[in-house]
Structure 1
Amino acid sequence: MSLHTVLFELGCEELPPKSLKNLRDALKSEVEKGLQAAGLAFEHIDAYAAPRRLALKIVAVEGQQPDTQKRFDGPAVQAAYDSEGKPTKALEGFMRGQGISAEQVSTFQAGKVEKVCYYKDIKGQNLDTLLPVILQTALDNLPIAKRMRSAASRTEFVRPVQWVVLLKDDQIIDATIQDFKTGNVTYGHRFHAPEAITLKHANDYLDALRQAKVIASFEERQAIIDAQVKQLADEVNAIAIVPADLRDEVTALVELPVALRATFEERFLAVPQEALITTMQDNQKYFCLVDHHNKLQPYFITISNIESKDPTQIIEGNEKVVRPRLSDAEFFFLQDQKQPLASRKDKLKNMVFQAQLGTLWEKTERVAKLSVALSQITGAQAVDAEKAAFLSKCDLTSELVGEFPELQGIAGTYYAHLEGENDEVAQALGEQYLPKFAGDVLPQTKTGTTLALADRLVTLVGIFGIGQAPTGSKDPFALRRSAIGILRLIIENELDVTLDELVLLTLDDYADVIKDHAKTRADAVAFLEGRYRAKYEDQGVDVDVIQAVQALSPASPLDFDKRITAVQHFRTLPEAAALAAANKRVANILAKEATPEGAVIESKLVEDAEKALYQQLQSLTTEVQPLLASRNYTEALSKLAALRAPIDAFFENVMVMADDAELKANRLRLLAQLRGLFTAVADISVLQH
């Protein structure tokens, strides 16, 4: 069968840059599905995307569907023929429906019943017939939020279509796609080479466009941008900030990337660099430059879409455009400094945090009171914690945060430094929002840790107290993310405190605002404990390891974490599988039989195997108890691995359910002692192997 190279290109008005990559990948995926469903084999598909085009090159695709045979089922043979072997009305109806004669009827076995059928030969269609339908279906299925119609066409797409190329090797596949007749004519760069380009072969596409100043490959354009940006940054001994989303968006904005470095006045560096970076990235799509200490430098890189004969004009134009934006940020920054941070609390008194829980200032007062209490746990200075808490939300009323909401906390840090606050207090204002997402950094100061904990606890307990806990899809206060933040703050700072203690401390600040303190306490603690699984699964911990620890319900997150570490290590030991199985067996026995009270009576041990297990248990208990007391669970479980051999021997040679009631009772006590040693760390019987 002959194999072909097919080129499809959809030329459009400029496509939305933020979704260009997704559109390209979705088009490729949909066409792959269509070809597979049609039974057309192909080697691979190369996908291309530039501002004015989406394109696919299908390599080594079959030119014809294989011929197939389809079976049409009729009635059972018994119902199809009468006693004389002549067709009944049922069979006649079937033949009439299929347009066949009696000679064309076949039979097949359907379970225990033999049925009549007709095998119809279906000739495979050719690629020229199938491909336009596959392509149009793929375009119709693209993930486009808002489609548009252009001119008189009723066909919708994300942007108006301008041309369609569909080539099989050197031949045009004659079709109509998106109301455009297919051809072999494409167009180059809008400014450098706007003339029509006739493609002689599907394989000519990339080179023909490259000569017309268009780099059709998204990855190739991105690699060019990366190299050019690095070179320009290196020339001034700086490092470019290149967020992944911005990198993709800029790549989607240009057909011919040309990086240019521009400057701005150094006086703007007095403004918080986060504000400058935000406005340059979000509004102008520039790459900012920082030094090796992450301090902003007075340069930025813009990606032009043309090779200018005089690049300085483009550079000066961008410098002229960015200056008012940086001036705005400077103006807001200077305006804010006319009013002390602490004086902004009056505006917080008019800002509602939550209707039933009061204003932002009322929340701030609760956070301040809790921060003082928490400072004994975190090791922060109570006076710093209280000061930071009272200033924590003041920057929300500033001009700078009004213009750049993502600078909440960061703006407060700058203003606090300018007002002479110490580093602990100033840094805590920015650190209160950390961690912002899974894997984010934690506060570096003890005051910041205290404030971050207090702020989250006050919100979480308050929302639970008014009966608005998160539901399946609704979590307006992001309490799930906040709860994982609380767990991380406790565990990674090694704070030895229980969740119950923290919730109780928080409830003290709510007094009469929350009616049912007992229910709120129980619900909030259960919610926090319920986030362990999400936290550890994100870290790649197996579910059964988490369940083994959850079975013991450790009160302290730090204690929970140490047990997780211990069980994770235990799983790597060669004895782990056998001991998990043995513990499961022991758990099942003890679940069915009431364990007699009291200790194991050594004189009642008669079998060598049970004596050996008892001796080993006594010896290990002495070794393990101090380890458990110091929470060295990893070492404790490692030592308990030595029990594998005596446990195996015990179950092989000892009958637990002995006829002698005293023997049976003593052996159950022995198993209970064994089980107790393991469950002092985790219930390893739930581990899967």
Structure 2
Amino acid sequence: MASTTFLLELGVEELPPAAIDSLSDALARGIADGLREAEVSFDDVQAYATPRRLAVHVTQLADKQPDREVERRGPALAAAFNDGKPTKAAEGFARSCGVGVDELIHLETDKGTWLGYRELQRGEATEQLLPDIVSKAIAALPVPKNMRWGASRIEFSRPVHWLVMLYGDRVVEAEILGLTAGRTTYGHRFHAPSAIELGHVDDYLTTLEEAYVLADRDRRRERIREQVLAEAECQEALAVIDEELLTEVSGLVEWPVALTGSFDERFLEVPPECLISSMKANQKYFHLLDDEGRLKPLFITVSNIESHNPQLVIEGNEKVIRPRLADAAFFYDTDRKTPLDSRRKGLASVVFQQQLGTLADKASRSAVVACHIAEQIGGDVTHAERAAQLAKCDLVTEMVLEFPELQGIMGCYYARHDGEAEDVAQALYEQYLPRFAGDTIPQSRTGLALALADRLDTLVGIFGIGQRPTGTKDPFALRRAAIGVLNIMIKGELDLDLRELLELAAAQHKDLPKAKGLVDDVLDYMLERFRAWTQDEDIPVEVYLAVRARPVTKPLDFARRIRAVHAFSQREEAAALAAANKRVSNILAKQEHDGSTGVAADLLREDAERALASALASQRAEVEPLIRSARYTEALDILAGLREPVDRFFDDVMVVVDDLEVRRNRLALLASLQALFLEVADIAELQQ
């Protein structure tokens, strides 16, 4: 079976840069899935894309489907013949197969014998299958919003202008989106606007590059990175390359050319975050830092043309950025004229959530919880209350209304300008930490208290109105809030009881429709986040289940137990002791033991049970102080020494004996063994 390379290119007007990668990947995935469904073999599928084209390149694509032997089953043998002569049923089946009755075969099944027919079904040519496969892949693209153009009723993300479908050097005959497939493509809109005839699929990338188009997304992205770094080096500066911005810029150009521009140094009086946000959000510029990490009055723009007069392009960009930065400076100056404290009354008109009240209500609730947390972790209660009152005030400033990503950042700047305590100002920024996986947690006690209080208020409030997250919807980012609380408590080593804090947070809300069982519901949801946390730490889920089986409500304590149990699970003794604990659990449940752990020494008849009782007493004395001080790893290391007496007990001792007193005593001994391990976790879960 022969194979060659296939190319699809859909030429469009400029696509939204944020959608290019998702559309490109979805198109490649759709074509690959279509080929697999048609059982056409291929080696690799590569997605290419620029603002003006979506392309898919398939290597080693077979020229046809494989031939298949098809088996058809007809009437049962008993109904196919009457006195040795074929019935109408047999003759009709033979005609449908295009053969005579004598060419049919007998098919033996577990339900009897049937007439049948086997034929070789020739595979269809790939070129005949491709139009339908491509059409379905395009129709299934996740286009956020379709549009029409001209008098046509055809819809797509942007108007389409050309369609290339080549199998090797041959055009695949097809009509898609109102376009007839051909071999004509187009290069750069300005540098190479004329039509280009592709001779062979393998010429695609080089032909376009000669026409000032880098169709390979990854190569274009890396070309931009290299150019930006080179420009920064020329300026003796450090370029800050945000990966999201890099991807977006790559989606705006086909032939990137990085250029460095400058702006007036007076704008550096504005907080650098404001200038950076303006440059990134509005102009898609990369900013530069000096050796000490301070913003330089320079920017790097990526042009889509190789100008004969690059200075003209630079001056044009400098002219555009000037009023943008002037706006940022104006917002900053205007906002500082009104202290944050004076903006508190404005929060009363900003709804947090219809059933949960305004931002002012949220601030009041959070203040109570923040004060309680601050007291418990050794923070300043007065500062925690003040930070909670001011936490959301920057949301009504001009700067944050223009650049929402600066919330918290501007609150910190404005609080410092107003003369607030430094840890209060710092807390206004830290309340949103951690913002993503791996991000830092608040460093100040006030920031820790505020960050926890704000998230806990949101969690109990949204759960309390019955809007807990579903598999696909989490509009209030409750998963992130829950994980944030856990990370803060664990990384900050805060020995706080989550149930107690949730009860306090829930008490600040009035008339929640789902108040019954609310704290238990939120607590279970939050502790369940440890399942993902253990996966991120490469810890087996059985370890999480072992700890989850215990009523542990302090996240820091939960994490310490998980790490201790994970270390214990690596020991040679772990499997045997986990199996023994599982056996103990089954025995106690089957015998309906009352939970008593009191062991009578005079009822210990066998050497093995006396040895186990002695070992338990000895190790309990060593282990209990360690458990009280949360030194779980050391405690489990000691308990690992119980393997030998436990194994010996089960080898030599019959638990369920006729003597009821002896039986109860042995059950109490096993319950004592189980209870000692349960002080840390239910290690029986490790057997899973």
> Do Structure 1 and Structure 2 share a fold, with TM-score over 0.5?
yes
1:601-616 map, 5 Å: 601-616=600-615
Residues 1:269 and 2:305 aligned together: no
1:5 is matched with 5
Please list the CA deviations of residues 372-419 of structure 1 after superposition, one character each: whole Å capped at 9, or x if unmatched: 332211211122222222222222221111211222221111011112
**Against the structure 1 CA distance between its residues 56 and 504, is the aligned structure 2 distance closer, same or farther, given a 3 Å change threshold?**
closer
8 Å Cα contact 1:65/1:126 also seen in 2: yes
1:125-164 map, 5 Å: 125-164=124-163
TM-score w.r.t. the length of structure 2 is 0.93
Please list the CA deviations of residues 557-579 of structure 1 after superposition, one character each: whole Å capped at 9, or x if unmatched: 22222211111111111211111
Please list the CA deviations of residues 295-330 of structure 1 after superposition, one character each: whole Å capped at 9, or x if unmatched: 322221111111111111111111111111111111
8 Å Cα contact 1:80/1:91 also seen in 2: yes
**Against the structure 1 CA distance between its residues 173 and 430, is the aligned structure 2 distance closer, same or farther, given a 3 Å change threshold?**
same
Among residues 547, 550, 556, which one is paired with 1:549 in the alignment? 547
**Against the structure 1 CA distance between its residues 133 and 527, is the aligned structure 2 distance closer, same or farther, given a 3 Å change threshold?**
closer
1:30 is matched with 30
For residues 99 and 314 of structure 2, the distance between their equivalents in structure 1, rounded to whole angstroms, comes to 78
8 Å Cα contact 1:371/1:450 also seen in 2: yes
Q: Percent identity?
A: 49
Q: Secondary structure at the match of 1:144?
A: coil
1:36-435 map, 5 Å: 36-82=36-82, 84-355=83-354, 357-435=356-434
Aligned-pair CA distance for 1:446: 0.8
**Against the structure 1 CA distance between its residues 101 and 17, is the aligned structure 2 distance closer, same or farther, given a 3 Å change threshold?**
same
8 Å Cα contact 1:595/1:672 also seen in 2: no
543-552 vs 423-432, greater mean Cα deviation: 543-552
**Against the structure 1 CA distance between its residues 207 and 563, is the aligned structure 2 distance closer, same or farther, given a 3 Å change threshold?**
same
Residues 1:588 and 2:583 aligned together: no
26-35 vs 642-651, greater mean Cα deviation: 26-35
**Against the structure 1 CA distance between its residues 199 and 73, is the aligned structure 2 distance closer, same or farther, given a 3 Å change threshold?**
same
For residues 254 and 147 of structure 1, the distance between their equivalents in structure 2, rounded to whole angstroms, comes to 22
**Against the structure 1 CA distance between its residues 139 and 503, is the aligned structure 2 distance closer, same or farther, given a 3 Å change threshold?**
closer
For residues 527 and 56 of structure 1, the distance between their equivalents in structure 2, rounded to whole angstroms, comes to 43
**Against the structure 1 CA distance between its residues 368 and 202, is the aligned structure 2 distance closer, same or farther, given a 3 Å change threshold?**
closer
For residues 595 and 359 of structure 2, the distance between their equivalents in structure 1, rounded to whole angstroms, comes to 58
8 Å Cα contact 2:147/2:159 also seen in 1: yes
Task: State the AA in 2 paired with 1:56.
Answer: V
Please list the CA deviations of residues 403-457 of structure 1 after superposition, one character each: whole Å capped at 9, or x if unmatched: 1122222111101111222321111111112223444321111111111122233
Aligned-pair CA distance for 1:581: 0.7
**Against the structure 1 CA distance between its residues 440 and 653, is the aligned structure 2 distance closer, same or farther, given a 3 Å change threshold?**
same
Task: State the AA in 2 paired with 1:574.
Answer: E
For residues 14 and 548 of structure 1, the distance between their equivalents in structure 2, rounded to whole angstroms, comes to 55
For residues 141 and 514 of structure 1, the distance between their equivalents in structure 2, rounded to whole angstroms, comes to 43
Q: Secondary structure at the match of 1:121?
A: strand
For residues 207 and 467 of structure 2, the distance between their equivalents in structure 1, rounded to whole angstroms, comes to 60
550-559 vs 676-685, greater mean Cα deviation: 550-559
Task: State the AA in 1 paired with 2:211.
Answer: A
Task: State the AA in 2 paired with 1:385.
Answer: A
**Against the structure 1 CA distance between its residues 200 and 367, is the aligned structure 2 distance closer, same or farther, given a 3 Å change threshold?**
closer
- The gaps in structure 2 that reach 5 residues or longer are none
**Against the structure 1 CA distance between its residues 524 and 60, is the aligned structure 2 distance closer, same or farther, given a 3 Å change threshold?**
closer
Q: Secondary structure at the match of 1:206?
A: helix
Please list the CA deviations of residues 608-659 of structure 1 after superposition, one character each: whole Å capped at 9, or x if unmatched: 3223222222221121111111110111011111111221121112111123
8 Å Cα contact 1:164/1:181 also seen in 2: yes
For residues 471 and 588 of structure 1, the distance between their equivalents in structure 2, rounded to whole angstroms, comes to 36
2:452 is matched with 453
Task: State the AA in 1 paired with 2:38.
Answer: A
Task: State the AA in 2 paired with 1:214.
Answer: V
**Against the structure 1 CA distance between its residues 170 and 370, is the aligned structure 2 distance closer, same or farther, given a 3 Å change threshold?**
closer
For residues 105 and 674 of structure 1, the distance between their equivalents in structure 2, rounded to whole angstroms, comes to 73
Aligned-pair CA distance for 1:196: 1.9
8 Å Cα contact 1:548/1:687 also seen in 2: yes
For residues 407 and 211 of structure 1, the distance between their equivalents in structure 2, rounded to whole angstroms, comes to 43
1:16 is matched with 16
**Against the structure 1 CA distance between its residues 9 and 273, is the aligned structure 2 distance closer, same or farther, given a 3 Å change threshold?**
same
**Against the structure 1 CA distance between its residues 240 and 509, is the aligned structure 2 distance closer, same or farther, given a 3 Å change threshold?**
same
344-353 vs 652-661, greater mean Cα deviation: 344-353
Aligned-pair CA distance for 1:53: 1.9
1:579 is matched with 577
Aligned-pair CA distance for 1:228: 0.7
8 Å Cα contact 1:42/1:60 also seen in 2: yes
8 Å Cα contact 1:66/1:124 also seen in 2: yes
Task: State the AA in 2 paired with 1:387.
Answer: R
Aligned-pair CA distance for 1:47: 2.8
8 Å Cα contact 1:7/1:167 also seen in 2: yes
Aligned-pair CA distance for 1:534: 4.6
Aligned-pair CA distance for 1:355: 4.6
Aligned-pair CA distance for 1:116: 1.2
Equivalences, count: 686
Task: State the AA in 2 paired with 1:608.
Answer: D
Among residues 561, 564, 567, which one is paired with 2:565 in the alignment? 567
574-583 vs 132-141, greater mean Cα deviation: 132-141
8 Å Cα contact 1:595/1:665 also seen in 2: no
8 Å Cα contact 2:441/2:492 also seen in 1: no
For residues 247 and 650 of structure 2, the distance between their equivalents in structure 1, rounded to whole angstroms, comes to 63
Aligned-pair CA distance for 1:130: 2.5
Task: State the AA in 1 paired with 2:675.
Answer: G
Aligned-pair CA distance for 1:496: 2.3
For residues 75 and 297 of structure 2, the distance between their equivalents in structure 1, rounded to whole angstroms, comes to 84
For residues 515 and 179 of structure 2, the distance between their equivalents in structure 1, rounded to whole angstroms, comes to 68
For residues 75 and 514 of structure 2, the distance between their equivalents in structure 1, rounded to whole angstroms, comes to 70
**Against the structure 1 CA distance between its residues 598 and 106, is the aligned structure 2 distance closer, same or farther, given a 3 Å change threshold?**
closer
Q: Secondary structure at the match of 2:143?
A: coil
8 Å Cα contact 1:264/1:299 also seen in 2: yes
8 Å Cα contact 1:42/1:59 also seen in 2: yes
For residues 21 and 377 of structure 2, the distance between their equivalents in structure 1, rounded to whole angstroms, comes to 46
Task: State the AA in 2 paired with 1:44.
Answer: D
Aligned-pair CA distance for 1:540: 4.2
1:484-503 map, 5 Å: 484-503=483-502
8 Å Cα contact 1:7/1:57 also seen in 2: yes
Aligned-pair CA distance for 1:232: 1.4
Aligned-pair CA distance for 1:354: 4.2
**Against the structure 1 CA distance between its residues 158 and 109, is the aligned structure 2 distance closer, same or farther, given a 3 Å change threshold?**
farther
Q: Secondary structure at the match of 1:157?
A: coil
8 Å Cα contact 1:213/1:255 also seen in 2: yes
Please list the CA deviations of residues 251-274 of structure 1 after superposition, one character each: whole Å capped at 9, or x if unmatched: 122111111111112222222222
1:667-682 map, 5 Å: 667-682=666-681
Please list the CA deviations of residues 215-249 of structure 1 after superposition, one character each: whole Å capped at 9, or x if unmatched: 12111111111111111122333332323222222
For residues 528 and 180 of structure 2, the distance between their equivalents in structure 1, rounded to whole angstroms, comes to 59
Aligned-pair CA distance for 1:294: 4.2
**Against the structure 1 CA distance between its residues 488 and 43, is the aligned structure 2 distance closer, same or farther, given a 3 Å change threshold?**
closer
**Against the structure 1 CA distance between its residues 416 and 624, is the aligned structure 2 distance closer, same or farther, given a 3 Å change threshold?**
same
Task: State the AA in 2 paired with 1:238.
Answer: A
**Against the structure 1 CA distance between its residues 293 and 90, is the aligned structure 2 distance closer, same or farther, given a 3 Å change threshold?**
farther
Aligned-pair CA distance for 1:600: 2.1
Aligned-pair CA distance for 1:513: 6.1
**Against the structure 1 CA distance between its residues 541 and 293, is the aligned structure 2 distance closer, same or farther, given a 3 Å change threshold?**
farther
- The gaps in structure 1 that reach 5 residues or longer are none
